């Protein structure tokens, strides 16, 4: 039984179909990378998985339950947490308080204050503990997104473009953090444009374009496929 099952999802905004007949199975313990050009519908996919947006048709299954009509907060209780591509920090709260929200209202059991402290150390945010999230730099805001989601103790963690703009050493430490999280048994789906970062941790890649799944498989094979070349380099590249 897959942890997450997406079954023929469709979502349109007016005439614009952002998700078309999208199906995907993610097994527990997997680390799936999602690639695709801007506007391909990757973030909408996350919105559909977390319940921020409801599909026009199709079903979302999580942990053996049909959660298509379950709202975002309850899906979080069940074990789905995400980071937002455009950071949504609680600007008037400190870094610690931001993380505490996830620890308090997420799936986690036990003392939320303790858990928030642990996550803050794990994600390297401890030095900014008492800084208002509104005064963080973009990079720190992205890191906070991940920390907050992690504090909710998810079974499935969705990361939306968190490596963009990082220096090489920052990227290495981010990859280390992601490997650590994955090693604790968290299933991860990661949308990322920084292909080398994604390639180094993903066990499987899914390529999305025009709201459809173009190809899915082992990273090296997917990257070598003609479908990916045509999306990123145009049809001519195939000649």
Q: Is 106 in the site for another protein (CB under 8 A)?
A: yes
CB of 178 to another protein, least distance (A): 19
For residues 102 and 76, what is the distance between their CA atoms, to the nearest angstrom?
9
- Residues in contact with another protein, counted by CB under 8 A, come to a total of 38
List 28, 93, 175, 199, residue binding another protein (CB under 8 A): 93
CB of 155 to another protein, least distance (A): 13
List 92, 110, 185, 234, residue binding another protein (CB under 8 A): 92
List 54, 65, 113, 179, residue binding another protein (CB under 8 A): 113
Among the residue ranges 90-98, 171-179, 192-200, 221-229, the one whose residues contact another protein (CB under 8 A): 90-98
CB of 95 to another protein, least distance (A): 9
Q: Is 70 in the site for another protein (CB under 8 A)?
A: no
How many CB atoms sit inside 10 A of residue 232's CB? 15
Q: Is 105 in the site for another protein (CB under 8 A)?
A: yes
Q: Is 17 in the site for another protein (CB under 8 A)?
A: no
Q: Is 65 in the site for another protein (CB under 8 A)?
A: no
What is the contact mask toward another protein in residues 145 to 164, using x (rule: CB under 8 A)? Answer: ---xx--x------------
Instruction: Dump the DSSP string for the chain.
Output: --SEEEEEEEEEETTEEEEEEEEEEE-TT-EEEEE--TTSSHHHHHHHHHTSS--SEEEEEETTEE-TT--HHHHHHHTEEE--SS----TTSBHHHHHHHHHHHSS--S-HHHHHHHHHHHTT-GGGTTSBGGGS-HHHHHHHHHHHHHHT--SEEEEES-STT--HHHHHHHHHHHHHHHHTT-EEEEE-S-HHHHHHH-SEEEEEETTEEEEEE-HHHHHHSHHHHHHHH-GGGG-
Residues that bind another protein (CB under 8 A): 50-52, 71-74, 76-77, 81-82, 84, 88-94, 96-97, 100-102, 104-107, 113, 117, 120, 126, 129-130, 132, 148-149, 152
């Amino acid at each position: 039984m897959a942890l997450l099952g997406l079954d023929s999802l469709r979502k349109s905004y007016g005439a614009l179909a952002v998700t078309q007949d999208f199906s995907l199975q993610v097994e527990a313990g997997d680390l799936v990378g999602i690639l695709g050009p801007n506007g391909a519908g990757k973030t909408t996919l996350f919105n559909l998985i977390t319940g921020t947006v409801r599909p026009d048709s199709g079903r979302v299954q999580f942990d053996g339950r049909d959660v298509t009509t379950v709202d975002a907060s309850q899906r979080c209780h069940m074990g789905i947490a995400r980071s937002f591509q455009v950071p949504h920090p609680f600007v008037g709260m400190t870094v610690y308080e931001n993380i505490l929200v996830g620890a308090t209202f997420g799936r986690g059991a036990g003392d939320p204050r303790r858990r928030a402290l642990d996550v803050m150390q794990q994600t390297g945010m401890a030095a900014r503990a008492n800084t208002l999230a509104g005064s963080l730099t973009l990079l720190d805001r992205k890191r906070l997104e991940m920390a907050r989601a992690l504090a909710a103790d998810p079974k499935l963690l969705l990361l939306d473009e968190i490596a963009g703009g990082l220096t090489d050493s920052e990227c290495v430490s981010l990859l280390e953090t992601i490997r650590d999280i994955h090693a604790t048994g968290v299933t991860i789906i990661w949308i990322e444009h920084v292909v080398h970062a994604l390639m180094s941790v993903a066990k499987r890649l899914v390529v999305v374009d025009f709201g459809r799944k173009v190809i899915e498989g082992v990273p090296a094979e997917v990257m070598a496929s003609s479908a990916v070349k045509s999306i990123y380099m145009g049809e001519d590249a195939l000649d």
